């Protein structure tokens, strides 16, 4: 069963990590301490590179290329997960930041992508499995209208981004708003899907990081004065680290979190509470 000279762990359950960027790599590294890993990214070289690096460190990691915005590609990923006996943990980390993309791309990747992935992988969730969707503090600082809420209720369709645009006033159709609403949509998705996951004995939760020191986060600091103001107001007076977020993902994926589903966990150094107290 075990292959001599490799780090293969056929006795371990599978963790699927979507997004092999900064935070995705930290999450994969942490989950790889107790799981076989599928490292998934649209960028094949990036997925290959991260899986290779983690294998060098002793993890049982394999890369998979997948574009989470394309249903056929997500279906192929689900079939791959099925061939590997299903999964115990799904960490959905992939996301586009406001300064990196336009309105449509942000909604497509951050929300429609997550909706497609969770729907396609649910049939392969082992009993006790958990899906953890990386949302953001941004989800907690927006109050969508009823028309926007209605669109967010059905985020699987390719047309979600354009329907969302139509539900917004012209001046609201910004990348920043797309980011806020896509992350808000993940919280609603978890609440709505918890019953379906529960029917399989599985859980689905979102995790909302505040300001985290990642390459993506540093890029946002350069392009967003608002982010500097938020930094100044964070009660713990620093950014969080990727290691801290990876630790919370590991907790949410573990049996210690076995009664946590359909909800969101803020990991933001107290920032959202401070903003709400204003």
Considering beta carbons, is residue 128 or 247 the nearer one to ligand NAD?
247
Smallest gap, in angstroms, from Cβ of residue 271 to ligand NAD?
11
Smallest gap, in angstroms, from Cβ of residue 80 to ligand NAD?
14
State the residues that interact with ligand NAD by CB under 6 A. 19-24, 41-43, 46, 66-69, 93-95, 97, 109, 113, 134, 136, 209, 211-212, 214-217
Contacts of residue 163, defined as CB under 8 A and 6 or more positions apart, other chains included, come to 151, 157
Three-state secondary structure call for residue 269:
coil
Smallest gap, in angstroms, from Cβ of residue 269 to ligand NAD?
11
Q: Where are the alpha helices (DSSP H) in the chain?
A: 22-31, 44-56, 71-83, 103-107, 114-121, 146-152, 160-166, 175-198, 215-223, 225-233, 242-253, 271-276
Considering beta carbons, is residue 139 or 151 the nearer one to ligand NAD?
139
The sign of the torsion formed by the CA atoms of 229, 96, 80, 47 equals negative
Considering beta carbons, is residue 97 or 118 the nearer one to ligand NAD?
97
Query: Which residue minimizes CB distance to ligand NAD?
Result: 21
The total of other beta-carbon atoms located within 10 Å of residue 227's CB is 16
Considering beta carbons, is residue 24 or 155 the nearer one to ligand NAD?
24
Smallest gap, in angstroms, from Cβ of residue 276 to ligand NAD?
17
């Amino acid at each position: 069963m075990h292959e001599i000279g490799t780090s293969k762990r056929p006795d371990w359950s599978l963790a699927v990590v979507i997004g092999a960027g900064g935070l995705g790599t930290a999450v994969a590294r942490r989950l790889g301490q107790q799981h076989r890993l599928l490292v998934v990214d649209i960028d094949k070289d990036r997925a290959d590179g991260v899986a290779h690096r983690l294998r060098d460190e002793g993890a049982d990691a394999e890369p998979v290329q997948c574009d989470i915005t394309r249903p056929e590609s997500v279906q192929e990923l689900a079939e791959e997960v099925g061939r590997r006996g299903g999964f115990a943990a799904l960490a959905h980390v992939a996301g586009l930041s406001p300064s990196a993309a336009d309105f449509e791309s942000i909604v497509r990747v951050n929300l429609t992508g997550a909706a497609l992935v969770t729907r396609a992988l649910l049939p392969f969730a082992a009993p006790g499995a958990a899906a953890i969707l990386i949302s953001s503090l941004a989800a907690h600082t927006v109050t969508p209208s009823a028309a926007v809420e209605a669109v967010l209720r059905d985020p699987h369709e390719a047309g979600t981004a354009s329907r969302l645009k139509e539900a917004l006033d012209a001046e609201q159709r910004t990348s920043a708003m797309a980011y806020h609403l896509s992350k808000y949509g993940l919280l609603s998705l978890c609440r709505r899907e918890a019953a379906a996951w529960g029917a399989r004995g599985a859980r689905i939760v979102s995790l909302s990081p505040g300001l985290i020191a990642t390459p993506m986060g540093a890029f946002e600091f350069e392009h967003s004065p608002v982010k500097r103001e938020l930094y100044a107001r964070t009660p713990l007076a620093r950014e969080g680290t990727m290691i801290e977020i990876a630790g919370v993902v590991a907790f949410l994926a573990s049996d210690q979190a076995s009664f946590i589903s359909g909800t969101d966990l803020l990991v933001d150094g107290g920032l959202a509470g401070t903003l709400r107290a204003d």
